[in-house]
């Protein structure tokens, strides 16, 4: 048995027998074993991270099949995953996916119906509740498929004011989320996703006396606060619980939002949760 195999055997048996004894039996030094183990754990962590990245890439590719590796890198960064374009290109090759290139034809492509000016303009603070709201959609991995989560966040205290989980990333998902909000004259900011630029969406905002605001096209940082929430939700809950169906996903998301709003303290809020901060200001 070569040394590599002996190290592997020791690693598998250390839960039962002392490492010193195993190293003596295998006739290897403890320092040599620990050096191998450190390298092994580094490789394993890298592989685990690659698995997470591949899951994100597959989900994004499903929604945006025209993304090449540069745009895929930007989409990953929106999810809080900082990775260079060379690694994204390698992982996409390993997955066997590439951007779907469409032919450019005169007058081809959909034009947005309604694009609001960027009223928010990255001013991510508010002096009172229900003045500045931001909204976005993210995907949620469920078993071997995906669901879509739409949320609305109040920039005054980062509180989640509304959310909706659905099996389609469509206009209805967005409308159902907005209908939950009662904040006349507030700004509601989003990116220029197709749902947010429809006349139906603009009419709903007008009916609810909300002032629409859109990020600049292709600029993920214009809506960074809600992207930050999605990152916390996934890393602190969904990646750990790994829901297998829609019922589990909805329950886990509800649990996390309750925790996030009422218990998860934030430094910018004076180490208070969003609800604690709002109630303290109101007192």
* pLDDT (tens digit per residue) in 202-257: 999 999 999 999 987 765 566 678 888 998 999 899 989 999 999 999 999 999 99
Q: Determine the pLDDT at residue 111.
A: 54
- For residues 107-111, average pLDDT: 47
pLDDT at 108: 43
- What would the pLDDT profile of 15-39 be if each residue is shown by its tens digit? 788 888 888 888 888 888 888 888 8
Q: Does residue 18 or residue 152 have the better pLDDT? A: 152
For residue 109, pLDDT over 60 is answered with: no
Question: Where in 143-254 does DSSP place strands (E)?
Answer: 145-154, 159-166, 187-190, 211-214
Q: Is the pLDDT of residue 279 over 90?
A: yes
CATH of domain 132-282: 3.30.420.10
- Measured CA to CA, the distance from residue 27 to residue 77 in angstroms comes to 47
pLDDT exceeding 70 applies to what percent of the chain? Answer: 91
Q: Report the side by side order of strands in the sheet with 132-142.
A: 159-166, 145-154, 132-142, 187-190, 211-214
CA 152, CA 245: separation in Å to the nearest integer?
23
Give me the pLDDT at residue 274, please. Answer: 95
Measured CA to CA, the distance from residue 254 to residue 234 in angstroms comes to 13
Which residue did the predictor score with more confidence, 154 or 35? 154
What percentage of the chain exceeds 90 in pLDDT? 40
Task: Report CA dihedral (270, 271, 277, 279) to the nearest 10 degrees.
Answer: -120
pLDDT average, residue stretch 112-139: 89
Q: Is the pLDDT of residue 102 over 60?
A: no
User: Higher model confidence: residue 239 or residue 165?
Assistant: 165
Domain ranges for the chain? 3-95, 132-282
Rounded mean pLDDT, 133-162: 92
- Supply the mean pLDDT for the chain: 86
- Tell me how far apart the alpha carbons of residues 239 and 236 are, in angstroms, rounded to a whole number: 7
pLDDT at 160: 97
Closest CA to 131 of 153, 151, 156: 156
What tens digit of pLDDT does each residue of 56-66 get?
888 787 777 77
For residue 137, pLDDT beyond 60 = yes
pLDDT score recorded for residue 107: 41
Neighbours of 68 (CB within 10 A): 15
pLDDT for the residue 219: 59
197 to each of 81, 138, 180, 274, how far by Cα in Å? 27, 17, 19, 30
Region label for 271, one of left (φ > 0), alpha (ψ between -120 and 50) or beta (otherwise): left
């Amino acid at each position: 048995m070569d040394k590599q195999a002996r190290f592997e055997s020791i690693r598998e048996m250390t839960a039962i027998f002392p490492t010193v004894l195993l190293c003596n039996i295998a006739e290897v030094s403890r320092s040599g074993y620990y050096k191998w183990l450190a390298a092994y754990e580094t490789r394993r962590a890298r592989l685990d991270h690659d698995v997470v990245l591949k899951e994100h890439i597959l989900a994004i590719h499903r929604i945006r099949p025209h993304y090449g590796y540069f745009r895929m890198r930007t989409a990953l960064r929106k999810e809080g995953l900082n990775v260079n374009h060379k690694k994204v290109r390698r992982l996409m090759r390993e997955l066997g996916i590439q951007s779907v290139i469409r032919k450019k034809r005169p007058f081809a492509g959909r034009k947005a119906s309604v694009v609001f000016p960027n009223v928010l303009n990255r001013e991510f603070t508010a002096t009172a509740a229900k003045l500045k709201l931001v909204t976005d959609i993210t995907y949620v991995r469920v078993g071997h498929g995906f669901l879509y989560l739409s949320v609305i966040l109040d920039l005054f205290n980062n509180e989640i004011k509304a959310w909706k989980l659905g099996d389609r990333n469509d206009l209805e998902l967005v409308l159902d989320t907005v209908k939950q909000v009662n904040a006349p004259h507030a700004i509601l900011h989003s990116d220029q996703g197709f749902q947010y630029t429809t006349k139906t969406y603009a009419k709903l905002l007008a009916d609810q006396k909300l002032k629409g605001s859109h990020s600049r096209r292709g600029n993920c940082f214009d809506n960074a606060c809600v992207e930050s929430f999605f990152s916390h939700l996934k890393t602190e809950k969904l990646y750990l619980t790994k829901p297998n169906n829609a019922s589990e996903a909805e329950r886990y998301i509800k649990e996390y939002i309750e925790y996030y709003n009422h218990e998860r303290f934030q430094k910018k809020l004076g180490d208070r949760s969003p609800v604690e901060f709002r109630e303290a200001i109101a007192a």
